[in-house]
Amino acid sequence: MIGRSVALRAIVGAAISIVALWLVLRSVDLGRTLEVVRSANPVWILAVAGFLATDVGLRAFRWQRLLAPITHIRYRAMLGYLLVGYLANNLLPARLGELVRSHYLGDREGVSRTTTLGTVVVERVVDLSVVVAIAAISILVLSVRGIVANAVLAGIAVASLFAVVLAFGVVAHRLPGADRIASLADRWPRLRDLVGSLRGGLGVAGRPRTLLETVALSVVAWSATILAFAAAGQAIGIELTIGQAALLGSGVALASAVPAGPASLGTFEFAAVQIATSIGVPENEAFALALIAHAMSLLITVPAGAIVLARIGWRRLEPVAPPGT
């Protein structure tokens, strides 16, 4: 059943990517776009790479801080597991990279994979909330209307729903009737243990200091992404304000949450072109900016993730038997 669901989502995602790419290509002059890309300033392209690498590094540190109440894991290891997850997200459909990185960290560090997944859920909800906040502030400052503003409003609704669900997951065991439900769950020990492990990961959201650190690091990480989009604009001679770059970065991130093919191919470019043209960037330059930002993101995460995967291997580790057994 799960395999069939993933396959269906992969098919739908691939169809969405194809349609998104078609919509972009029919509205731009591909030859002109490639000319713009070829004439891009290499110094600014390196700046894009630097900002995106900083973003990834901060996200690894954020995940480490989220796991700190549960266990301490070396930063280098955290960065490696995150990169493997990004590699999987760029090659597999349905954002399976979140499950992949949870599996690797749990398997290699001796932590429950379900608990680890719980921290990833917290991370995703905080990330979405910060992105939506950035996008909402941007559309207010820039007075953007139309489809972009409507998409942000939809994002606010989704983020609010996820935040409520997360809060419920954190405090569910304290609600009236929770003890009765827990006693019923004792009939299925495996399910009870899985729920308990997941709640252990979600529980980090109930720690004010941990949650505050996560939000702060998310803001700093997204600031690096915003600067990357601003640098991508500079590379092709487009001077974006911080507000415009913020709308681009946050808008593309929201679009990447839509089911699509591997690496959000198509939806990334479509969202970037739609947002960039709404703030006055010509379509060919908007597409060139999107290609530069997307390509540099892949060049930062895919080779690094492949190197880490080659180093740690893909096989599941076997439990080590106690001495004398």
Domain residue spans of the chain: 30-312
* Closest residue by Cα to residue 104 from 319, 314, 318, 251: 314
CB 103 within 8 A of CB 114: no
Share of the chain above pLDDT 70, in %: 78
User: Which residue has tokens 């941990």?
Assistant: 210
Between 11 and 63, whose confidence is greater? 63
Instruction: Report pLDDT for 78.
Output: 95
Instruction: Report pLDDT for 207.
Output: 86
Mean pLDDT of the chain: 83
Confidence of residue 16 (pLDDT cuts 50, 70, 90): confident
Cβ atoms within 10 Å, residue 110: 11
> Rounded to whole angstroms, how far apart are CA atoms 10 and 128?
22
> Rounded to whole angstroms, how far apart are CA atoms 292 and 44?
10
Instruction: Report pLDDT for 175.
Output: 44
**What's at 218, amino acid-wise?**
S
> Rounded to whole angstroms, how far apart are CA atoms 323 and 310?
30
CA 149-154-157 angle, to 5 degrees, is: 130
Instruction: Report pLDDT for 17.
Output: 86
User: Which residue has tokens 């959000």?
Assistant: 264
Between 194 and 240, whose confidence is greater? 240
Share of the chain above pLDDT 90, in %: 51
Instruction: Report pLDDT for 197.
Output: 62
Between 34 and 193, whose confidence is greater? 34
3-class SS string, the chain: CHHHHHHHHHHHHHHHHHHHHHHHHCCCCHHHHHHHHHCCCHHHHHHHHHHHHHHHHHHHHHHHHHHCCCCCCCHHHHHHHHHHHHHHHHHCCCCCHHHHHHHHHHHHHCCCHHHHHHHHHHHHHHHHHHHHHHHHHHHHHHCCCCHHHHHHHHHHHHHHHHHHHHHHHHHHHHCCCHHHHHHHHCCCHHHHHHHHHHHHHHHHHHCHHHHHHHHHHHHHHHHHHHHHHHHHHHHCCCCCCHHHHHHHHHHHHHHHCCCCCHHHCCHHHHHHHHHHHHCCCCHHHHHHHHHHHHHHHHHHHHHHHHHHHHHHCCCCCCCCCCCCC
Instruction: Report pLDDT for 69.
Output: 92
Cβ atoms within 10 Å, residue 16: 19
- The pair of three-digit structure tokens given for residue 73, joined into one six-digit string: 């894991």
Instruction: Report pLDDT for 164.
Output: 72
Confidence of residue 316 (pLDDT cuts 50, 70, 90): low
Instruction: Report pLDDT for 182.
Output: 47
Between 106 and 165, whose confidence is greater? 106
User: Which residue has tokens 């989502």?
Assistant: 9
> Rounded to whole angstroms, how far apart are CA atoms 229 and 49?
10
Instruction: Report pLDDT for 59.
Output: 97
> Tens digit of pLDDT for each residue in 156-207?
777 677 667 666 655 554 545 444 544 544 554 554 445 556 666 778 888 8
Instruction: Report pLDDT for 181.
Output: 46
> Tens digit of pLDDT for each residue in 76-105?
999 999 999 999 988 887 678 888 999 999
Instruction: Report pLDDT for 40.
Output: 96
